[in-house]
Copies of this chain bind each other. A is one copy, B any other.
Amino acid sequence: MATSPSTAPRDDRPPAASPVSLDRANPEAEIARAARAYSNWGRWGADDVLGTVNFITDELRLAAAGLVRRGATFSLAQRFDMDGPQRGWRRRTNPVHTMLDTGTDAVAGNQGFPHGIGGADDVIAMPLQCSTQWDGLGHIFDHGKAWNGRDAARTVTSDGDLVTGIERLARPVCGRGVLLDVARVIGPSVAAPGGAGAHDELPDGFAITAEQLSATAAAHGVAVGRGDLLLVRTGRYARALREGWGDYAGGAAPGLSFTTAGWLHRTEVAAVATDTWGFEVRPNEFDESFQPLHQVVIPNMGLLIGEMWALEELAADCAADGVYEFFLTAAPLPITGAVGSPVNPIAVK
């Protein structure tokens, strides 16, 4: 397997204001330090299979339901079809949807059903990481360890994730959603002057810091806290919608800085989802590495991560009414043993 679909030179990245000192030439040590510092292993017992989703309580969910003011809904899923972002890396294709029966055949009398009834059926073949998705806890390992310290070789085999399969998350992923539209708040000060979308899109390679997350929350008038389903908008998906996918899947993109690991741990959010392919900034911040923030937050922190979410409509609405919190349901399909799942998250305001 190739280690990365993108090898754009680091120099192309705009400077990221990072107040946390990061030794960019020493990923091993930095990753190890963060993994140790922000580990949640054992926090919910040795048998835990939910990770930070444990932070969501019925009380928090009840309070979140109280955020519904208008009854308006927003789907945060991209469309699942052949026009999606995938280009074949790691055998990730776009979804292939085919018909088993059609209206055309019904009208042509080819179906053999009685009394005028006709039907259409269909089939899909898709990677579970092809579009709007949750990364399950079995998606990433750190030095052979899966979530909660388990042996990855015994946890995720050819038979799937035998312990932390995505079906474990079928019920609880529902609660308070908070949108941090970093692109809208920070974008104008960092985008190339005069560039298209400069006002509300972060440039590729832009590493969002903890300070910028906090500043965005402050600008929105929301506080991010325990059990929240946090959505971070970078504007990258808007750019893809406008300019075409290009290398949306695996290429350069804005995203969370490696240095946000502590903030994510401290805030005790239940999940974080972005409008980018890879959640964290691309190219990654170390001279040579691959998704180091994933390596810290999934197997060590037990954090649920969402990728390729479609945040444009919701963000426009939040900008319009100034309300950045809502009730959010984002239940994965309970595919037994899956290390991820496509999802159609629904925000209700």
Q: Is the CB of A108 within 8 A of B107?
A: yes
Q: A82 and B71: CB pair below 8 A?
A: no
Residue tally, chain A, CB below 8 Å to B: 120
Residues of chain B lying within 8 A (CB to CB) of residue A327: 65
Contact A338 to B124, CB < 8 A, known contacts A96-B93, A102-B156: yes
**Minimum Cβ distance to chain B for residue A129 (Å):** 6
Copies of this chain, tallied across the complex = 4
Q: Mark A95-130, 1 if CB is under 8 A from B, else 0.
A: 111111111111110111111111111111111110
Interface string of A46-66 (1 = CB under 8 A from B): 000000000001111111111
The 8 A CB mask of A25-57 against B (1 = contact, 0 = none) is 001100100000000000000000000000001
The A217-263 residues at the B interface (CB cut-off 8 A) are: none
**Binary interface encoding of chain A residues 78-99 relative to chain B, with 1 for a CB under 8 A from any of its CBs, else 0:** 1111110000101111111111
Interface residues of A in 134-164 (CB under 8 A from B): 138-144, 146, 151-161
Binding site for B on A (CB under 8 A): 1-3, 27-28, 31, 57-66, 68-75, 77-83, 88, 90-108, 110-129, 138-144, 146, 151-161, 167, 170-172, 174, 288-292, 294-295, 327, 329, 331-340, 342-346, 348
